[in-house]
Amino acid sequence: MKHLSQKIKYKKLLSMTVSAVIFFLCAYYVVNNFQWRAIFPLLSQVDLKWFLGAGAGSILFYWLIRTARWFVLLKAADIHIDFYRLYLVGVISMAFAIVTPFQSGEAVKVELLKKVGALDRIPGYGIFMTERILDLIIVLLMALICLLFGVVKYLDRWTMFAAVALILICITVFFLIIRRTSPGNAVGRFFQPFNQCVKNGRVLTIVVSLTIASWFIIILGWYASLRSIAISINFPEMVALTTITTLISILSLIPGALGISEVSISSFLVYFQQDIPLAQTGALIIRLYGVMALILGFIHLLPFWKLIRAGKQMPANVD
């Protein structure tokens, strides 16, 4: 047991070290290689109708869709929470996720609901894991489809066919294992919400549709942000840019994907034949899009704390 604990500690230390090295290399690259004299004038010409109007609208719409997905999953587990209160908790946690490694900060919504007696920890984290699994599957498939159809030509087509087939097999095996897991043990209880989702065709269809819709809203939000500085790329390229760079940012384990996001987005935009200064400005406007989401999330703290200070609970009727 002690040996296992040390092994876990070393792995954490190694991942932190690798993340720190990646961060400093990317930060050094951004500071020294971004063409700041050309970038600042480009940023000063931002079209606010696209950035603040369409960009902010996409964030709010995204939060509503994600809340609807969470609402459906909770209801499938016989947990009923008022949509508005669920929305407030969800917004705060999704805003917090922007600045945490692996976007793990979204899990704070489980703790917030537990704090007010609306949700137990095990089913809460089980439902959160269900959301994460669905996100990972959808984003992976969207990214692979873009690669498969040659939007980004890094790998040959047969390699991509093999990768897609392998991922689909892994997903199928995972689904089969979860379906056969007994709800009597701890693992079964934890994955019970996911199991219920998989077994209920109606619920699965709804949550998958909402997951796909939410990612398309993010893609449109990125498009609006880039359009605000006169970057225009076609829709398949936009899907590839959003999904692949998001996966890179998440896997980097760097809080907020600082540095790695700017390098990966600007590199993709250059690959899509944008001028280097404009591509680097595009990476920074996407960073500002994330900052805007943080500000909007912070604004939602006001009604949330008003509910808490008023002593209003968020009751859940668990049948």
pLDDT of residue 228: 96
Closest CA to 179 of 198, 160, 164: 198
pLDDT of residue 313: 47
pLDDT of residue 314: 45
Residue pair 123/188 in contact by the 8 Å Cβ criterion: no
pLDDT band at 188 (very low <50, low <70, confident <90, very high): low
- DSSP letters of the chain? -HHHHHHHHHHHHHHHHHHHHHHHHHHHHHHHHS-HHHHHHHHTT--HIIIIIIIHHHHHHHHHHHHHHHHHHHHHTT----HHHHHHHHHHHHHHHTTSGGGGGGGHHHHHHHHTTS--HHHHHHHHHHHHHHHHHHHHHHHHHHHHTTSS-SS-HHHHHHHHHHHHHHHHHHHHHHHTS-TTSHHHHHTHHHHHHHH-HHHHHHHHHHHHHHHHHHHHHHHHHHHTTT----HHHHHHHHHHHHHHHHHHT-GGGTTHHHHHHHHHHHHTT--HHHHHHHHHHHHHHHHHHHHHHHHTHHHHHHHHHTT--------
CA-only gyration radius of the chain, Å: 21
pLDDT of residue 305: 78
pLDDT tens for each residue of 123-157: 788 888 888 888 988 998 888 888 777 666 655 66
Q: Indicate the range of 152-161, 208-217, 218-227, 296-305 predicted with least confidence.
A: 152-161
Distance (Å, rounded) from C-alpha 182 to C-alpha 283?
46
Locate 101 and state its tokens.
């490694």
